[in-house]
Amino acid sequence: MKKFIIGILMISSFLFGQTPTAEEILQKIDDNMVFEKAITTAKMIIHGRSRSRTITSKSWAKGNDLAMVEYLSPAREKGTKMLKTKNKLWIYTPEPTDRIISISGHLLRQSVMGSDLSYEDMTDNSSMIDNYEAKVLGDEVILGRKCWILELIAKNKKIAYYSRKIWVDIERLLPIKEERFAKSGKLLKTTEITEAFFQDNRWFPRHMPFKDALSKGKGTEYILESIEFDADIPEYYFTKAGLKR
């Protein structure tokens, strides 16, 4: 019922040329970007200080609590898997080690495969409206798109980014530029959505450059190659036994 009411208010705001409330905008972002179940294929192009490398992967996700990621290439990373269950993550490394290690707490904010994405970034499917209080600061044209500018403050201290400044595409309702900050106000990460696509009645990011402000590398491009929403995913994918299947 709440989502229905917010949707009606949002339509009314558009019809009368008014700026929606911050809550309405966050709800529309969630409607686009948060999913119940999905299977995706993607690649990361990691631009280091001296060279670039590409890693491809396939992922299975259910809500924000369950996710499995399997790396497909290059050969050195092939077969490595990550399993997320709520606030814990397991990493399986195939031969020669054939072992599973556990990661939790602040370690989830470490870099994945030397990229500018953390383990939390890689498996995040959380709701902005549930995690942040927000206010509208104004509007601006960014990347050729007219945007609302929002300031977000985390509702609890467990959130990876205490505050965020986002530029939300007025037409597509996607955050096409973000600055993510620590509680101290220090800039931690920037992201953009430079390409999006329309599928299953929602806009979704295709190409997202990330830059870790604390890293000396040249950034990481995250490119979504395919996604199947509401996919049928067997439950064993989200078990430790499934890591070695």
Query: Quick one: 213 and 110 in the same domain?
Result: no
Distance (Å, whole) CA 211 – CA 194: 14
pLDDT for 6-51, tens place per residue? 454 454 454 446 889 999 999 999 999 999 999 999 999 999 988 9
Angle of helix 22-33 versus helix 2-15 axis, rounded to 10: 110
134 and 225: one domain? Answer: yes
138 and 196 housed in the same domain: yes
> Helix, strand or coil for residue 29?
helix
Q: Identify the domain containing residue 83 by its residue range.
A: 61-124+232-244
Instruction: Give the closest residue to 157 by CA, choosing from 134, 138, 131.
Output: 131
The Cα–Cα gap between 38 and 137 comes to 33
Both 175 and 212 in one domain: the answer is yes
Q: What is the 3-state secondary structure (H, E, C) of 49-105?
A: CCCEEEEEEEEEEECCCEEEEEEEECCCCCCCEEEEECCEEEEEECCCCCEEEEEEH
pLDDT of residue 245: 82
User: In total, how many domains does the chain have?
Assistant: 2
Q: Are both 134 and 185 inside the same structural domain?
A: yes
pTM: 0.90
For residues 223, 196, 169, 67, the Cα torsion angle rounded to the nearest 10 degrees is: -50
Confidence of residue 183 (pLDDT cuts 50, 70, 90): very high
Q: Do 225 and 131 share a structural domain?
A: yes
Together in a domain, 205 and 95 = no
Q: Are residues 131 and 221 in the same domain?
A: yes
Q: Is 27 left (phi over 0), alpha (psi -120 to 50) or beta?
A: alpha
Q: Quick: pLDDT tens for 58-113.
A: 999 999 999 999 999 999 999 999 999 988 999 999 988 889 999 998 899 999 99
Same domain, 73 and 88: yes
Q: Which residues pair with 167 in a beta bridge?
A: 149, 177
* Same domain? 130 vs 225: yes
119-170: pLDDT as tens digits? 999 999 999 999 999 999 999 999 999 999 999 999 988 899 999 999 999 9
189 and 72 fall within a common domain: no
Shared-domain flag, residues 210 and 149: yes
